[in-house]
Structures are given as structure tokens and as C-alpha cells.
Structure 1
Amino acid sequence: MPAALKMPESELIDHAGFDSAVYLRIYLIGLKIFVPIALLSWSILVPVNWKSNGLQLAKLHDVKSSNIDKLSISNVERGSDRFWAHLMLEYAFTFWTCYVLLKEYEKIASMRLAFLQSEERRADEFTVLVRNIQPDSHELVSENVEQFFMVNHPDHYLMNQVVYNANKLVGLVAEKKKMQNWFDYYHLKYTRDKEQRPRVKLGFLGLWGKKVDAMDHFTAEIEKLSDQILEERKRVKKDEKGMMPAAFVSFKTRWGAAVCVQTQQTKNPTAWLTEWAPEAREVYWPNLAIPCVSLTVRRLVMHVAFFFLTFFFIIPIAFVQSLASIEGIKKSAPFLNPLVEKQFIKSVIQGFLPGIFLKLFLLFLPTILMNMSKFEGFVSISSLERRAAFRYYLFYLVNVFLGSIITGSAFEQLNSFLKQSADQIPRTVGVAIPIKATFFITYIMVDGWAGVAGEILRLKAFIIFHLKNLFLVKTEKDREEAMDPGQIDFYVNEPRIQLYFLLGLVYAPVTPVLLPFIIFFFGFAYLIFRHQIINVYNQKFESAAAYWPDVHGRIISALIISQIFLIGLMSTKGKAQSTPFLSSLYRYSPSVFTGFAKTGTNQYSSLTLCRLVLSTCLLEAVIKDSLERAREPNLNLKSNANSGSSQPEPSNRIDAGKANQSLDV
């Protein structure tokens, strides 16, 4: 751990990649935002709340409260001028958060530009992915692509590589790999005991059938599959129907590729679609050949599916959480009444059980959302992760944040959103926010603290490895694959971080007691993930932190949400229309911060040269091309394009999920 903390950021980028370095900075941003906010809240708001006596007056009307509520805005009397402190500090929190985001945006944008300029030459810098190629009955797809770009980009076009449908070839290669693995296993077994050659049954799962020599059998199978693979590869390259309407087009200069990406190629906006080609290791090959019209339909279907998933998932979550309460247990299991009345058991049920049940319900959700993103047709893994992360965050917002705040039974929670008018929702949620502070404190401890602690143990990976080792591992290669830690699941971790940004910004002016728990999470998570990134995880691809604008935008949205709910809360305290400051906060801040987020995103895109942003700085492309020509005047660009812009041959590197292959022709 000390060595990981001492590693400079430049070395961290060289070691783990720019994606990992920016991911760690998200935790630092949390500390930069919430440490000053916590100091202000505890020095001003906590004394203001504590010295009020609103809850004492409420007790006269049999309203129950806890000691934590005395530190919240709930303890301030209705109509009190002390609400000015909360209002003014909300402005201070907003300006401070925007200042930190602005400085971080400038820092990360400059780091990203320096990273891309300092990188060695990559084939994807010169390569464009072209989709929805219009067919020509008189030419092959590769000939059609070459003719199109020779006419429209004659000075910069270099070559193209068509994407092939190689489903059968993939299956053959996977089968050969399986046979080779069995051969290695029996060969290893024979080298340890040469007195008897191993034998295997040819029946179902090797349980019955004729016994044959294992090594001879698998050697014959491998040779047969090798011949079939060779024939299938030849057939795929010659089959016109196997050519997909997609191709990787390489250019002589980065400038030429940038111009191609930023221009519409034909009058038809759905034909000859161009985008920066991802790295070969980042391409999600099965989605390359999906037609443009099909993409639109798929995304519409997924939008509808996600809507129903989000708003109906709140029913089982709320139902289970209601059972995980004292009242729910007494009602559903009366025989447990003597047990749940004990103080320790009662504290555990009220404090941790709802958070644990909520965590269990969310275990399989990231996998579902990732599969939905794949169905939509995104062609790069980073795009898949960003879409899954966005939806996971929306799910957190609706089901974890709003769903946990609105009290009542499962169907009452759903009805509270469907039956109320839109202008009443902020008021309803605003009133409930202070009441739910205790629940979110325990949720942060269960999900945040325990989750980060579990990252140290890696208990899930430990169990999976031993199960694989027990049932699947036969050779050293199998063991290496089973031990591979993979990379950080960005689409799982980033939405959780954003939930804590949301909780911190919402509760800072309302119940500041929540902030120390959030600060501890950010600090603890930064230490642990820095160690894991340096010493455990293996980065599979590099997107140059293309996800950063999404992170920035979600923090801005959390600011807007916090202000809307504070307005809803103030409206119940007799202060909704008392000052022009609250009115201006309501009227102007959403549009101002939306513009701030959009400006930052555009700045990020225009400042950097990258394959995964909306625009590319042509000047930087020209400079990099000129420097490269000066250093290497005899550079063979065609060999460079061949080496990295297409997927490797299936026989060299493949898995069963890659259905479309780009084969060198």
C-alpha cells in the first residue's frame, strides 16, 4: 500500500493506463468537494439545527424523532429565519462544487491531450470504421469501399479491411482450442505416469462408449479440425454473402481520418456512416454488421424495456424492505415477536437489514444492463460500459434514492409517483429526505464501506477461482485463465460513486451528519482501488477516459436535483416564496448548470485528439503527422494499419462470443 500511494501519477498512467488514473481522480474529486462542504456544514448548520426546538414542538403532536433528527433541518421551526443559513450555504456548496469541477475538467482535459500526444503510433489513429455500406451488385464490398474512398478521399485513402461473417469459423476454432486443452491434460497425465497411456470413452460426457487411446484420439480430432478451419477460412474470404456491410478504412494521415469522421459522406445520412475505429481489443465484433435501421429499433425497444424494468423493480425492492422492518416482521411472522423485541436484534433489523436486502436485489442488475447495451448495437466495449453505467445510475436514482425516500408500502411508493402532479413530487420527496438520513447512513456502511472492504478480500473472485480449479481447470493455461483478475468493472463502480455524490449534495444543507460517512467512503475507496489498480487488475483496453464527460454531467445533475428537493422542503417550512434568492435558485440554476455541463463536454471534445469523442482537433492532427514524417520519412503506413486496425485471425486469438471477424485479404 505505501508503494502504491507513492507512485507518481505519470508512472501510474504508464503502468495502468489513463482510464485507471482518471477513475481514481473521481474519488479525489469527492474528497475535494465534500471535505470543505462538511467543515462548513458542521461549523454553521449543525449548531443552527441543534439550537432550534422544532422537534420539541412536534412532540406535542406525537411526532416521533431520533437524536440524529436534532442535527437536521427538521429541528428548525416552521417560518424561522434560520432557514437563511441553509439557503446561503446551498449557494456556497453549489459554487464550490462547480469550481472544483471546472478545475478538474481543465486538468483532465490537459492530461488527456498530453497522453494522446505522447502515445506511440496506433493504427486506430489512422483508421475509421465505416458502417451501413451501400451494396453494389457488380462489385465486392471491398472493391466498393475502395472505389468510394478513392473517389472521395483520393489524397489520403490508404486501404480497407472488410468485416466478415465467420460464425462457423469461430465455432471450429473454439472446438479446436477445447480439443487442444484436453490433449495437453492427458499428455501431462501421461508424462507423470508413463507405465500406462490414458484412455477415454467416446460416449456422452465420457461416461460410456468405446475406450480409445486419449492422446491419439485428441491428436486426430485436432488435425481434422485444423483442416476444417483452413477450408472454412478460404470459403469465408471468397463468399460474397459472408462480407458484412462494414469495413475498417485506413488513411495515410491522422488529418485525413479526422476529416472523414467529421463529414457526412453521402446525401443519405443513414449510409456510409463513419466513426473512429476503436482499438482491436476494444471492438465488440458481433455488433459491427447491424444495419442502421435495426439499430434505431433496437435502441427504442431497450428504452421501453428499461423504463418498465426501472419503475416496476421498485415493487419487489419496497416489498422486501417492508418485510425487513420491525413492523413487517411482526406482521408476517408473529412467532418471532419475542426475538425482535430484544434491543440488539431490533437495532440490527432497523439499521442494517433493509440495506442488506437492497444490496442483494441489485447483484444481478449490472449484468442485465450490460446485455441490454449489447443488444442496442454499440461496437466498442467502452461504449457498452458507458451506456450500462448511465442506466445503472438512473436505476440508483429512481429505486435506491427516490424509492427509499418515499415511505409506505410497495404499491403506495409506486402510486406516489404515478398519481401525484409533477410539481408535488419535489415537495413530497423534500419532506421525506431528512427522515431517511438514518437509512442512508446504514446503506453507505453496508454498500460503500463493506463493498470497499470486500474489494480487499476479493471473496467473490476467490470462490469463483476455487470452483473453476475444482471442476474446470485441467492445465496450467486453464489455471492462468481462472486466475486472471480482469479489469475494474467501470459500469458497476461508477454509478455507485455517483449515488454518493448525489447523497452528499442533497443532504449537505439538510442533514450534514451524513457527510463524514461519505467522506470516509471516498478516502477509503481511493486507497484501496489505487492499490488494486496498480497491483491486481489488468487493463484490457484504453479509451483515454472517454467516460469523463458522463461523470461530470451526472455530478451536475446531482446539483440540480439537490436544489429542486431543497425547494420542495422549504415550501413545507413556510419559506418557499420568502426571498428572491430561493426563487432564482429554482428558476435559473437548472438551465445554468445544464449549460455549464454542455460547455465542459464540448470543451473536452474539442481540446483532445481521440478516436472516441465527437470532434477532433485538426490542428493537433496536422502537428502530430508533421512530426512523425520528420522523424520517420520512410514509414510504411500500410504495415502499421495491418498490424493493429483489424481483428487478429481467429486461429490466433478468438473467443466463442466473437461472431464477426475481419480477416486479412
Structure 2
Amino acid sequence: MLLSALLTSVGINLGLCFLFFTLYSILRKQPGNVTVYAPRLVHEGKSQQRDEFNLERFLPTAGWVRRAWELSDEHILLNMGLDALVFSRIFVFSLRVFSFAAMVGIFILVPVNYMGTELEEFSDLSNKTLDSFSISNVNNGSNRLWIHFCAIYIFTGVVCSLLYSEFKYISSKRIAYFYSSKPQPQEFTIMVSSIPRVSGSSISDTVESFFRQYHPSTYLSHIVVHRTDKLKTLVNNAEKLYKKLTRIKSGNFSQQKFRRDGFLGLFGRNVDEADHYEKKLEKLEHEMRLKQSLLAGEEVPAAFVSFRTRHGASIALNIQQGLDPTEWVTEMAPEPRDVHWPFFTASFVRRWISNVVVFVAFMTLIVLFIVPVLLVQGLANLHQLEIWFPFLKGVLNIAVVSQVITGYLPSLILQFFLHMIPPVMLLLSSMQGFISHSQTENSACFKLLIFTIWNSFFANVLSGSALYRVNVFLEPKNIPRVLAEAVPAQATFFISYVVTSGWTDLSSEIFRLVPLLLSFLKKIFCIEDDKELQVPSTPYCGEIPKILFFGLLGITYFFLSPLILPFLVVYYCLGYIIFRNQLLNVYAGKYETGGKFWPIVHRSTVFSLILMHVIAIGIFGLKERPLASSLTIPLPILTTLFSFYCQRRFLPIFRSYPTECLVNKDRADERDPDMSEFHANLVVAYRDPALLPPQFSLSRDINQEDSPLLHSRQP
């Protein structure tokens, strides 16, 4: 790619960023858009939008940037949770890493690369390719390669130091968050599955007998899970009908008072609409209570077991309960709002088959995605495009057309295909039988990271530079050499990808085009929305893999093509401001994992460092510096040992809290007068929402018949 093509791409994306920021600055101040740009504040009753006319409403301002910048970690932790803080700290960590890398790369490595004469280039700077600023331009056997060698060692040390500091910081915040939070149901509860069936006893009786016998001093209560998939359909229908009936009775719904009770309201006799829907709702309630009464015999061999203390729950969680390790299987209970109830309707065999199907589907998706990757690489290499489509040769020779095609279009097309992947990964993970939404998203995040690294990095690298060597099979001893040949050749594509996918995608995130269009269409067509204001959940699953992938690009190309580093610094600066603004105004956490996404960040960063080391070994070999290649070999070994130490030092804190913390918190709770009320609420905290007594009808009072039909068991 020529430097002029890169500048064309930068100009296009800078224009789009400026446009999105300007429009957001104006649209966010319009009262009609408050539910689009500040749904979190509206939900919390903190919105301060006013309807009176003000000229300042129509002028772009940057006050939101200052508010996002000044947002402290303590404010995020207190109001948004530890997961939001970890998400924000990913940008902080990345900014520190690549700010240092950019200073070394731009002021030391780029001049060294540019002074090389390995590549024959035009004297005109605008007609030079970006390879002139990469290690490819350094002469073979040059002593200047020792500068790159030293830079790799220094950079690795800095990244490991920052990674250790961040792991330590987040671990301390996790403990501090635990001590400062109020008692939570998941701290006292475990999930027990594979409960053995005892002849003549129900699952509930078996659980109660077992835990009363073996945990007599700490056992509090349990709730056995029931099959409620059919009942959930009735509950959803009743909720929709209840909301519609509420709007009709409120008098704010512009609709006929009478309607026909036949097909689609077009046939039959005229009836009072409110009375018709209320009778229909009462019928649904009666059917729901009937199905609830029949669920006593549809127990699933799984139960939520609650204890009087956190320490008691931890002991039951971490010690094998029965002689057979496949029975009485325990795991941490998620938050009650985080429970994925459809999981419990799947049998063990069905879950096992689902895992096999998910694995096959995941591998198939990885293979099929090679097709758009090949298309993208064809656009990034004009000579290959001319071979495939010779009739376009005249058009492709036009300077502006070639610059747009090679500098902007490939990364735009790749980004379009990648946007379809996160929902697919969530769907695949939801089929694996996780008991919580957070586990599903964590699994989807890991799958998406693997998919992105393989298809957006390795597939692009190998398809772009080894297009005519598709029969090459990678052997372990050849990996450094093959990567050393392939990775530098794709530096220009990834620089363009950072600009197109990174900058513009972040800018569109703050603009929120789709919610804005939906809100606009509802106003135009006077569509009444019977749904409550839904605050969108923080997109950890979709954004974290993308952030880590850009980190992999920056670490990998740190010494290969340092020109990518300033663009990455801009990307992380934009992400830091934009997502802190979104956390403040838009997103709300639907669950809290206590920062369990951070280990994924740690492993991804270590993998990126090791990949850089492997490529460096191959590069120094190709550049006829075998001593530098040999001296680089200890780096991946030392980095792996560092990772093992960090995981041994900090990872256990992310799996479970230590006894010291649990006992201290339990002792503090003994002085809390509200603990008796908390224990009373804990008994019913994990009741399936489908088993709650129906209370939708507007015309009747709650009576004794509304009490739940399925009770929890407690001593």
C-alpha cells in the first residue's frame, strides 16, 4: 500500500469520526433523544433534560468529553460495579503499553527502518509504500537489527511489569469490592447438580436429608429446580397482555373502545375491549396456576442450596460431597438475576450432544470464514484482483480508485462480516448448558477472541502472503520462518484495518445509529411502545475481543512496522473516552462477575508477546542475524514462566474468595441486625420466576390463593 492510500483512508475515517462526534454533541442535548443517549440516567431518574428552547442545544460542545475523562475509578466501582471498572482498565492498560511502544517505535525504530536500502523505492515520499518504514527495509545482516533486538527485550519487560501491576490492582479492587458490598445471595448459595435419585423420596427430600446430615450447623434451605419451559410461555403471554390492558385502562392508548372477539378482531360480536382482555388474562392466570400445581412431580436433579455463612457455602463448594465424584456436583451459584433457567430443562445427554454440536459448528464457521478473508485480500492486492477480473484493469489504474480500494474497502468489508459473528457466538455458547448468562457471555467472549485472532490475523496473513502456497503445511520448526515471511507483508492492511474498523466503529458506537433510527420512526409513525424502558447491557462479549485483537496487532507489529502504533494510541484514547461516557449514560450491568473477564485479558496479552517473540526469531534468521535469533529464544520461555507466576499469585482470587475474607465478612455480619431479614429473603431468592404466583389481573385483590404452590424447604 502506498503512503498516499493510507492517508486517503485516514482522511475518510477522520471525517466520519468528526461527523459522528458533531452529530452526537448536538443530538444528545435534544429532549426527544434522552432515551437514546442517556437511558441509564432516565432509568435511575437522574436525567436533567429540559424542554425549553435554548440556542446552546443546537451547537456542538465537548463538555461530555471532560465529564468522561474526569470519571474516577471509585465512581465506576461504586455505581457501575467491578466488571465495568475492569472494562475501563483494559483501555488504561493498553494506553500505557502503546504510549511507551509508540515513543520507542516512532522516534527510534521508524528512522532506523527508513534509513535502510533493502527495498527499492521512489524518491517521492507520497509514492513510497509503507514497507519503507518497516523492518523489511533494513538491510540483511545490518548491525541496526540489534536495535530491534534490544527494543523487543525492553518492550517485553515493560509489558510484563504493567501486566503484573494491573493484575495486582484489579485483584485488590476485587477484595475491596467484596468487603464493601452488602450481603449477596450468591455468596451464601451453591448450585448442586447430578443429585442421585433415592427410591421412595423426592429430590427435595433427598437434598434436605443429605445437607442436614453432613452440614448440620451451616445448612439453611434449598430450592429444587423444576421443568418450567412450557409455563414460561404462558407467563410471557400474560405479561404482554397485562401491559396492553394497563395501557387501555390508563386512557393513554388511542384505540377503539370496542372490538370484535373473532379472528384478528375482524369477525364475531362487539365486546368491550378492556373487559375482553381482562377475562382473557384471568383465564391465562387460571391456566398458569393449574400448571404450577402439576409441577411438583417434574423435579430436575438440581437444586440451589443456601447456607447461613459464606464460609459454610465455600466448604460445601470446594469439598467433594459424595463417594462418587459424578454425583452431588457443586459449583458457585450465580446472582439470582443472572440465572439462565432454560439450562435446567436439558438432560445430561442433551447437554453433552449440544457441546459436540457447538464444537463442530464453531470449527465449521472458522473454515467458512476463509471465503470473505480471501475476498478482502484480493482487494488489498491489486495485482491479484487484476488477475481475477482482467476487465477491471483500466478502472483499477485510476489513482483515486486504487487508493480507496486498497486503503479503505478491504477493512470495511472484513468489518461488515465480523459484525455478524458475536450474535452467532452467543447463540453457540447458550447451547452449551451454562447455568448463568455471565458464563454464557464469558464463553462467547473467549470463542470470539479465538475466532478473531485466527480469521482476522492468521487467515489474513497466510491468505495474503501465501496465496500461491496453499499446500504448505506448518511444521513446528518452520513456524517462525513462515510467520516471519508472512506477517510483515500484511502490515499495511492491518494499519488500514485499525483506522477503518477501530476509529470509525468507536465513533459509531457513541452515535448509536440504530436506536436513534428506531426512536425517530416511532415518532414519525406515532407507534405506541408498550415496553418499559430497557437499559442496554454493557457489551463485554462483543467489545473485549476486539480490544484485545487490536492489542495483539500492536504487540506483534511493534518492531515489524511501528507505524501502526500511533493509530492504536488514537484508537485506545477514543475508546477510553467513548466507553466511559457510555458507562456513565447508556449501559447498565445485567450481572456482576467480580471482574472475571480480566484473566482473559492477561492470557491474550501473554499470547501476543509470545507470538511477537516467535516472529522475531524467524525475522532475525531471515535477516542473517542468527545470534540475535538465538538470543531471542529465552524470551518466550521467560514470558511463559511470568504468566504461570501471575496465575498462581492472582488467579485463585478470581475463582473464589479466600477463607480470611469469608470469615472476616461473616463475623462482621454477626453484628448486623438486618441479617435475619436477609436469611428470610435468601430462602426464596432463587425461586424460578415462572413459579411466582400470578398477579396480573387488575380487578381482583391478592388473596390466600395467590401464595406460591411450590415452597422452598428449610429447617
* Change in CA separation of 1:275 and 1:289 when aligned onto 2, cut-off 3 Å: farther
**Contact 2:203/2:301 (8 A) holds in 1:** yes
- Residues 1:499 and 2:549 are matched in the alignment: yes
Q: TM-score, normalized by length of structure 1? A: 0.88
Measured in 1, the distance between the counterparts of 2:305 and 2:393 equals: 71
**Contact 1:313/1:399 (8 A) holds in 2:** yes
Measured in 2, the distance between the counterparts of 1:191 and 1:86 equals: 70
Give CA-to-partner distance per residue, 1:130-156, whole Å, 9 cap, x none.
Answer: 111111121111110011111111111
Number of residue pairs matched by the alignment: 632
* Change in CA separation of 1:89 and 1:286 when aligned onto 2, cut-off 3 Å: same
Measured in 2, the distance between the counterparts of 1:379 and 1:435 equals: 45
* Change in CA separation of 1:420 and 1:619 when aligned onto 2, cut-off 3 Å: closer
Which of the residues 487, 499, 502 maps onto 1:445? 499
Give CA-to-partner distance per residue, 1:221-252, whole Å, 9 cap, x none.
Answer: 1111111112222222x2x2x11111110011
Which of the residues 127, 141, 160 maps onto 1:79? 141
Shift in Å, 1:662: 12
Greater alpha carbon shift after TM alignment, 592-601 vs 125-134: 592-601
Q: Report the counterpart of residue 530 of structure 1 in structure 2.
A: 580
Q: Report the counterpart of residue 483 of structure 2 in structure 1.
A: 429
**Contact 2:464/2:490 (8 A) holds in 1:** no
Give the 3-state SS of the residue equivalent to 1:569 in structure 2.
helix
Measured in 1, the distance between the counterparts of 2:483 and 2:465 equals: 16
Which of the residues 73, 90, 93 maps onto 1:9? 73
Measured in 2, the distance between the counterparts of 1:510 and 1:190 equals: 64
Which of the residues 292, 312, 315 maps onto 1:259? 315
Q: Report the counterpart of residue 241 of structure 2 in structure 1.
A: 179
Measured in 2, the distance between the counterparts of 1:464 and 1:403 equals: 37
- Residues 1:585 and 2:585 are matched in the alignment: no
Give the 3-state SS of the residue equivalent to 1:91 in structure 2.
helix
Give the 3-state SS of the residue equivalent to 1:631 in structure 2.
coil
Give CA-to-partner distance per residue, 1:80-114, whole Å, 9 cap, x none.
Answer: 22211111110111110000000111111001100
Q: Report the counterpart of residue 62 of structure 1 in structure 2.
A: none
Measured in 1, the distance between the counterparts of 2:524 and 2:684 equals: 39
- Residues 1:640 and 2:690 are matched in the alignment: no
Measured in 1, the distance between the counterparts of 2:175 and 2:148 equals: 40
Give the 3-state SS of the residue equivalent to 2:683 in structure 1.
helix
Q: Letter of the aligned partner of 2:605 in structure 1?
A: I
Shift in Å, 1:312: 3.2
Q: Letter of the aligned partner of 1:69 in structure 2?
A: D
Q: Letter of the aligned partner of 1:16 in structure 2?
A: M
For 1:138-157, what aligned pairs fall within 5 Å after superposition?
138-157=200-219
Q: Letter of the aligned partner of 1:149 in structure 2?
A: F
**Contact 1:122/1:644 (8 A) holds in 2:** no
* Change in CA separation of 1:572 and 1:324 when aligned onto 2, cut-off 3 Å: closer
Give CA-to-partner distance per residue, 1:477-496, whole Å, 9 cap, x none.
Answer: 42x34xx2411211110011
Measured in 2, the distance between the counterparts of 1:553 and 1:653 equals: 47
Which of the residues 105, 112, 116 maps onto 2:174? 112
Measured in 2, the distance between the counterparts of 1:614 and 1:18 equals: 15
Which of the residues 381, 385, 401 maps onto 2:457? 401
Which of the residues 39, 42, 50 maps onto 2:103? 39
Q: Report the counterpart of residue 192 of structure 2 in structure 1.
A: 130
Q: Report the counterpart of residue 442 of structure 2 in structure 1.
A: 386
Give CA-to-partner distance per residue, 1:382-439, whole Å, 9 cap, x none.
Answer: 21111111111111111111122224599757544xx343332332222222222221
**Contact 2:163/2:602 (8 A) holds in 1:** yes
Give the 3-state SS of the residue equivalent to 2:671 in structure 1.
helix
- Residues 1:624 and 2:665 are matched in the alignment: yes
Q: Report the counterpart of residue 403 of structure 2 in structure 1.
A: 347
Q: Report the counterpart of residue 341 of structure 2 in structure 1.
A: 285
**Contact 2:232/2:690 (8 A) holds in 1:** no
Measured in 1, the distance between the counterparts of 2:552 and 2:147 equals: 21
Greater alpha carbon shift after TM alignment, 593-602 vs 349-358: 593-602
- Residues 1:603 and 2:667 are matched in the alignment: no
Q: Letter of the aligned partner of 1:562 in structure 2?
A: M
Shift in Å, 1:315: 2.7
Q: Letter of the aligned partner of 2:146 in structure 1?
A: W
Q: Report the counterpart of residue 657 of structure 1 in structure 2.
A: none
Measured in 1, the distance between the counterparts of 2:709 and 2:395 equals: 65
**Contact 1:647/1:663 (8 A) holds in 2:** no
Shift in Å, 1:121: 0.9
Give the 3-state SS of the residue equivalent to 1:639 in structure 2.
helix
Give the 3-state SS of the residue equivalent to 1:249 in structure 2.
strand
Q: Letter of the aligned partner of 2:415 in structure 1?
A: K
- Residues 1:454 and 2:485 are matched in the alignment: no
**Contact 2:379/2:405 (8 A) holds in 1:** no
**Contact 1:162/1:662 (8 A) holds in 2:** no
Measured in 1, the distance between the counterparts of 2:432 and 2:170 equals: 30
Give the 3-state SS of the residue equivalent to 2:563 in structure 1.
helix
Q: Letter of the aligned partner of 1:598 in structure 2?
A: F
Shift in Å, 1:540: 1.2
Q: Report the counterpart of residue 614 of structure 1 in structure 2.
A: 655
Greater alpha carbon shift after TM alignment, 93-102 vs 277-286: 277-286
Greater alpha carbon shift after TM alignment, 18-27 vs 628-637: 628-637
Shift in Å, 1:298: 3.4
Give the 3-state SS of the residue equivalent to 1:635 in structure 2.
helix
**Contact 1:50/1:70 (8 A) holds in 2:** yes
Q: Report the counterpart of residue 55 of structure 1 in structure 2.
A: 119
Measured in 1, the distance between the counterparts of 2:525 and 2:299 equals: 39
Q: TM-score, normalized by length of structure 2? A: 0.83
* Change in CA separation of 1:518 and 1:75 when aligned onto 2, cut-off 3 Å: same
Q: Letter of the aligned partner of 2:638 in structure 1?
A: V
Q: Letter of the aligned partner of 1:225 in structure 2?
A: L
For 1:352-363, what aligned pairs fall within 5 Å after superposition?
352-363=408-419
Stretches of structure 1 that go unaligned for 5 or more consecutive residues are 60-64, 655-660
Q: Letter of the aligned partner of 1:592 in structure 2?
A: L
**Contact 2:376/2:411 (8 A) holds in 1:** no
**Contact 1:318/1:410 (8 A) holds in 2:** no
* Change in CA separation of 1:161 and 1:407 when aligned onto 2, cut-off 3 Å: closer
* Change in CA separation of 1:432 and 1:605 when aligned onto 2, cut-off 3 Å: closer
**Contact 1:325/1:354 (8 A) holds in 2:** no
* Change in CA separation of 1:438 and 1:410 when aligned onto 2, cut-off 3 Å: closer
Aligned alpha-carbon RMSD (Å): 2.8
Measured in 2, the distance between the counterparts of 1:509 and 1:471 equals: 56
Q: Letter of the aligned partner of 2:93 in structure 1?
A: I
Shift in Å, 1:645: 3.8
Q: Letter of the aligned partner of 2:483 in structure 1?
A: V
